[in-house]
Structure 1
Amino acid sequence: MTGAFLAGLVAGYGVAVPVGAIAILILGLSARTSFRVGAAAALGVAAADGLYAAAAALGGAAVAGLLAPVAGPMRLVAAVVLLALAGHGAWRALRPRTAPAVPAEARRGLDTPARAFAGVLALTLFNPATVVYFAALVLGRQGGADPGVAEALLFVAGAFVASASWQLLIAGGGTLVGRALAGPRGRRVTALVSSVLIAALATAMVLPR
């Protein structure tokens, strides 16, 4: 049983640690807004990883096979959304700061914890390669046989804990960057850098490999 949790932990770090567009998005959100918003976005990623780990552990190769035909379109949709977020972030950084403050309830984009969680959860779910990754690990570990429910749940718990801990670390790093560059110019620079990186990573998602 403990082996299943540790396997999920290792698998979760394996898929979470490589820095991609989502990590840059979380970093930029935390720097621009607050740790609460960044942490909500981080938990959105962890929830998506947990759902995909559950699908792989309980469905195995069948789930991966169902997602394979739509992997290309889903990757394209994810890239378009990321480009839109990059453009929105750049626009927010460059627009004049003369407008009055907007209440949190009326904000758009991912600037509140609820929107950050839901938006990043949905965006992360548009990466079907994650479930293929988890399915390969699960089936390889089980020798082609589906694990029992208890073992599958422990695997999922390990994957969720790993993903959540890493993404929260990224959110915390973004908060530290935001505090170090707390002035308007510093926040403008971090927002623009974040937008450029997100756009570059989104473009890389759809380029031929």
Structure 2
Amino acid sequence: MIGVVVAGLLAGYGVAVPVGPVGTYLVALTARTSLRVGAFAALGVASADGVYAAVAAGAGSVLAPLLVPVVEPLRWTSVVVLIGLAVRGAVKAVRRYRAARIVTLQQETPVGAWTAYLGMLGMTMLNPWTVIYFAALVLGGSGVAGTGERVVFVLAAFVASASWQLLLAGGGALLGRVLTGRLGRLLTALASTALIVVLAVRLVA
């Protein structure tokens, strides 16, 4: 059973650690809102990874081939959503700077905690490569056989993903506290927008 826990943790970190556009957006969201909102958003990402891990552990061999034809449309959808969110954040940052409003991060929260959770859950679910990744691990001999071992594998993968996403959210919260000046927050928002767009475009490049 220890081997299954280790396999699940490695699988979770393997899919979560590479910081792509979703991770970048998570950091930027936390920086301009609050740690609470960022934590909920982080758990949304981890929940999606957990769902895909469960699907892969339960029926990965059947579903993975079926997902291949829709990978490209889902990838483009993910790109459009990410770019839209990035541009929206940049526009709000510019308007806030021009209005010269100085408010605290808590007062400026653009979304609620549960909205952030559901938004990041949906955004991460647009990535079908996650279930293919987990399916490949399960089918490749990760030692996951019985129902109990599958449950442990999924929980371990979720814990690994959640711990990493919460670390990113914590980094975003620290960034937000450091860059509390009006100009600093504007520059941070624009920089994160540019980075998110670049990373999103690389998904289909």
Q: Give the TM-score, by structure 2 length.
A: 0.92
Establish whether residue 32 from structure 1 lines up as the match of residue 32 from structure 2: yes
- Secondary structure of 2:74 counterpart: helix
| Residue of structure 2 in register with 1:124 after alignment | 124
Once residues 10 and 119 of structure 1 are traced to their aligned partners in structure 2, the CA distance between those partners, rounded to angstroms, is 26
Q: Note closer, same or farther for the CA distance 1:175–1:142 as it changes in structure 2 (3 Å cut).
A: closer
Superposed CA deviations along residues 60-95 of structure 1, whole A, max 9, x for unmatched, are 221111211100000000000001001101101111
- The two structures, once aligned, show a CA RMSD in angstroms of 1.8
Match of 1:2 in 2: 2
**Are the equivalent residues in 1 in contact too, given 2:39–2:169 (CA < 8 A)?**
yes
Could you say which residue in structure 1 is the equivalent of 2:160?
A: 162
Question: 1:186 and 2:155 equivalent?
Answer: no
Separation (CA, whole Å) in 2 of partners of 1:168 and 1:186? 24
Quote the offset at 1:205 in angstroms: 1.0
Q: Is the 8 A contact 1:5 1:158 kept in 2?
A: yes
Which residue in the other structure is 1:175 paired with?
A: 173
In 2, are the aligned partners of 1:40 and 1:117 still within 8 Å (CA)? yes
Structure 2: which 5+ residue stretches go unaligned?
none
Contact 1:21 1:198 in 2 (8 A): yes
What aligned pairs does 1:56-135 form with structure 2 within 5 A after superposition? Answer: 56-95=56-95, 96-97=98-99, 111-135=111-135
Give 1:100 shift: 11
Paired residue secondary structure (2:140) = helix
- Give the deviation of 1:158 after TM superposition: 0.7
Cα distance in 2 between the residues matched to 1:75 and 1:38 = 24
User: TM-score with structure 1 length normalisation?
Assistant: 0.90
TM-fit CA distance, 1:99: 7.7
Q: What are the Cα deviations for residues 89-136 of structure 1, in whole angstroms up to 9, with x where unaligned?
A: 1101111336898xx9xx76xx22111100110000000000000000
Question: How many residues end up aligned between the 2 structures?
Answer: 199
Q: Secondary structure at the match of 1:60?
A: helix
User: Aligned residues: percent identity?
Assistant: 54
Q: 1:58–1:147: 8 Å Cα contact kept in structure 2?
A: no
**Correspondence for 2:11:** 11
Contact map agreement 1:71 1:129 (CA 8 A) in 2? yes
Determine the C-alpha separation between the residues in 1 that align with 2:166 and 2:70.
30
Provide the residue aligned with 1:152 in structure 2.
150
2:99 partner amino acid = R
SS of residue matched to 1:147: coil
Q: Name the counterpart of 2:21.
A: 21
Whole-angstrom distance in 2 between the partners of 1:156 and 1:142? 12
